[in-house]
């Protein structure tokens, strides 16, 4: 019987990026027969780090003329078409057509197995028909496949990175033998990657919420300290609240009175009494109904501090006979059944959504023409975009955290603290963080070397110097340890064992196809 150490197999990686598949497969005895990539930075990094020549690049997948016979086909199919953050166009997006090219090559090159990777948006309910279509085409190509939704963090990668992996086999027997291993008990912490000391969190937890047995009740969080159940990161946000949420009024010099007004808005802005949206601005009258002592002058000062902003909410409609109105302007006025325009009504109106009427811009043109006049101002937090955070900071993770946010091509406003904070109670934990880390500037973004390690690449992996360029390459890559785990599980099926799986003679795949031949273009 051939031992696992003697197992060798050949592979080709499509949409190869910087070589995440190659790194994992070669570690397990794989031999590359070539790759397909069109991004210049990715091609350069791939060839530079793996000592490959550009001649091994098959180039644009839509123009490939032939492929040598291989054992495994891998593909990190471009994910934009299925990303929840994208437009969810699926096969209606030209980029989604690359799935068709990938399945065509699978069907005609007939490898023993394949691994395809994509973003979690592919399994979102909005894309269920597209996923079913892909799986059906794979079945028609002669393969037995299953998809797995895996968070890299569950397998010890210090990153929350949920991706979909479609794994398939030509032989049904090997398909049934394929099993992913259980999650490891030990998790890698950021401190292990960053070479930063992580405090042992064994302090008193008297002030933390406990259950009937006296144990701390963990909060829902990306990462929790193992002993106290408190967050290992701080969120900079004015729209949420929690023991590890930093608000703008926490880091701007404000009085207790000003903090009180801010909390009133935070606690009440999502109540239906103040509007139809998930978050609604409040008028001075609303504030005074909650606290009759609040004055206009106090709200004005919070605006000057860049904590609050004004929003025009209610508009009276004047006589506008003879005024030349655009179609969008007339549509907005048609919504006003009560003789007034209310911003909430405009934002939730289905007709305006379908016709994609730019509400803010159209309201402004109606004001300029003197058709409407604001009769109610409301007040909202100035920073309302959650992913942006506050003052350029979204989250700061402590080295005790065993998880970091998903590395994405566009980068984020997430940072790492350069030392730990020992919590004793909720209030002190937050205050110590502000004083010891935020106020002193002891935080930074991950470096290129650290990002490589978080994704499972060698620390010294050669990438471009510019942050935007290397972040794009790493953000678009697979997490190498997950491919390593999948590859090992694939080997364990015996699919590459020569005594079990009979090798075929090398063939060359002719790549002259048409829509009629492929038969998988969506209409």
Mean pLDDT of 72-99: 66
Q: Is the pLDDT of residue 512 over 50?
A: no
What are the residues whose beta carbons fall under 8 Å from the beta carbon of 332, sequence distance 6 or more? 341, 346, 352, 357, 359, 362, 363, 366
- Report residue 44 as tokens: 């350069």
Partners of 393 in the beta sheet? Answer: 390
Q: What are phi and psi of 138, to 5 degrees?
A: -65, -40
pLDDT for residue 87: 52
Indicate the pLDDT class of residue 321, thresholds 50, 70 and 90: confident
Q: Is the pLDDT of residue 514 over 60?
A: no
Indicate the pLDDT class of residue 89, thresholds 50, 70 and 90: low
- Looking at the domain assignment, is residue 215 inside a domain? no
Residue 159 shares a structural domain with residue 25: yes
Residue length of the chain:
523
Q: Is the pLDDT of residue 264 over 50?
A: yes
- Looking at the domain assignment, is residue 154 inside a domain? yes
- At 122-132, the pLDDT tens digits run 888 888 888 99
Indicate the pLDDT class of residue 90, thresholds 50, 70 and 90: low
Q: Is the pLDDT of residue 69 over 60?
A: yes
Mean pLDDT of 223-236: 70
Which is more confidently placed, 364 or 190? 364
Q: How far apart are CA 22 and CA 486, in angstroms?
A: 13
Q: Please, what is the average pLDDT of the chain?
A: 85
pLDDT for residue 338: 74
Residue 116 shares a structural domain with residue 15: yes
126 near 448, Cβ under 8 Å? Answer: no
137 near 102, Cβ under 8 Å? Answer: no
**Of 316, 346, 381, which closes a domain?**
381
Q: How far apart are CA 104 and CA 470, in angstroms?
A: 31
The total of structural domains in the chain comes to 2
pLDDT for residue 5: 57
Indicate the pLDDT class of residue 469, thresholds 50, 70 and 90: very high
pLDDT for residue 7: 65
Residue 265 shares a structural domain with residue 371: yes
Mean pLDDT of 378-387: 91
Residue 79 is a catalytic residue: yes
Q: Is the pLDDT of residue 143 over 50?
A: yes
Residue 44 shares a structural domain with residue 180: yes
**Of 357, 381, 405, which closes a domain?**
381
270 near 280, Cβ under 8 Å? Answer: yes
Indicate the pLDDT class of residue 388, thresholds 50, 70 and 90: confident
**Of 327, 349, 381, which closes a domain?**
381
110 near 442, Cβ under 8 Å? Answer: no
Q: Residue 63: is it exposed, middle or buried by C-beta count within 10 angstroms (0-12/13-18/19+)?
A: exposed
- Looking at the domain assignment, is residue 291 inside a domain? yes
Indicate the pLDDT class of residue 216, thresholds 50, 70 and 90: very low
Q: How far apart are CA 266 and CA 6, in angstroms?
A: 62
Count of other CB atoms within 10 angstroms of residue 35: 26
What are the residues whose beta carbons fall under 8 Å from the beta carbon of 467, sequence distance 6 or more? 411, 448
Q: Find the catalytic residue in 79, 262, 452, 487.
A: 79
Domain that holds residue 374: 254-381
Q: Measured on CA atoms in the order 207, 209, 213, 215, is the torsion positive or negative?
A: negative
Q: Is the pLDDT of residue 227 over 70?
A: no
Report strand pairing: 162-169 vs 113-119: antiparallel
Domain harbouring 33, CATH code: 3.40.50.150
pLDDT for residue 207: 42
Mean pLDDT of 383-403: 89
What are the residues whose beta carbons fall under 8 Å from the beta carbon of 429, sequence distance 6 or more? 230, 243, 244, 421, 423
Indicate the pLDDT class of residue 185, thresholds 50, 70 and 90: confident
Residue 171 shares a structural domain with residue 303: no
pLDDT for residue 135: 94
């Amino acid at each position: 019987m051939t031992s696992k150490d003697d197992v060798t197999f050949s592979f080709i990686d499509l949409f190869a990026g910087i070589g995440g598949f190659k790194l994992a497969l070669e570690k397990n005895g794989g031999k590359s027969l070539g790759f397909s990539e069109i991004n210049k930075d990715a091609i350069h990094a791939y060839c530079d780090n793996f000592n490959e020549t550009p001649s091994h690049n098959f180039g644009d997948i839509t123009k490939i003329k032939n492929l040598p016979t291989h054992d495994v086909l891998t593909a990190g199919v471009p994910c934009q078409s299925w990303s929840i953050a994208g437009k969810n166009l699926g096969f209606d997006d030209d980029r989604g057509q690359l799935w068709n090219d990938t399945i065509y090559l699978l069907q005609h090159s007939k490898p023993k197995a394949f691994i395809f990777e994509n973003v979690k948006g592919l399994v979102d309910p909005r894309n269920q028909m597209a996923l079913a279509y892909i799986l059906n085409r794979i079945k028609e190509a002669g393969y037995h496949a299953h998809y797995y939704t895996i968070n890299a963090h569950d397998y010890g990668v210090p990153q929350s990175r949920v991706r979909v992996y479609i794994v398939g086999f030509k032989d049904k027997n090997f398909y049934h033998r394929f099993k992913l291993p259980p999650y490891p008990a030990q998790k890698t912490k950021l401190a292990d990657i960053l070479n930063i000391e992580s405090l042992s969190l064994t302090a008193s937890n008297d002030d933390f919420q406990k259950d009937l047995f006296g144990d701390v009740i963990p909060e829902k969080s990306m990462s929790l300290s193992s002993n106290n159940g408190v967050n290992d990161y701080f969120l900079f946000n004015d729209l949420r609240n929690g023991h590890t949420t930093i608000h703008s009024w926490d880091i701007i010099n404000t009085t207790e009175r000003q903090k009180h007004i801010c909390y009133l808005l935070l606690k009440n802005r999502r109540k239906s009494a103040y509007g139809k949206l998930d978050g609604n601005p409040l008028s001075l009258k609303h504030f005074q109904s909650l606290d009759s002592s609040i004055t206009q002058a106090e709200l004005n000062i919070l605006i000057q501090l860049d904590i609050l902003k004004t929003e025009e909410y209610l508009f009276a409609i004047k006589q506008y006979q003879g005024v030349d109105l655009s179609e969008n302007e007339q549509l907005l006025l048609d919504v006003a059944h009560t003789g007034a325009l209310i911003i909430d009504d405009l934002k939730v109106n289905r007709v305006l959504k379908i016709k994609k009427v730019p509400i803010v811009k159209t309201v402004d043109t109606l004001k300029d023409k003197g058709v409407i006049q604001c009769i109610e101002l409301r007040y909202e937090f100035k920073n309302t975009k959650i992913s942006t955070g506050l003052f350029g900071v979204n989250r700061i993770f402590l080295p005790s955290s065993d998880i970091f946010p998903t590395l994405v091509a566009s980068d984020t406003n997430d940072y790492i603290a350069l030392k730990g904070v020992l919590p004793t109670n909720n209030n002190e934990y937050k205050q110590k963080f502000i004083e010891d880390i935020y106020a002193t500037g002891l935080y930074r973004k991950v470096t290129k070397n650290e990002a490589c390690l978080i994704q499972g690449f060698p620390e010294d992996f050669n990438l471009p110097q510019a942050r935007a360029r290397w972040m794009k390459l790493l953000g678009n890559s697979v997490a190498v340890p997950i491919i390593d785990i999948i590859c090992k599980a694939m080997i364990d099926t015996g699919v590459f064992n020569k005594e079990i799986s009979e090798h075929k003679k090398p063939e060359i795949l002719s790549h002259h196809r048409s829509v009629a031949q492929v038969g998988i273009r969506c209409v």
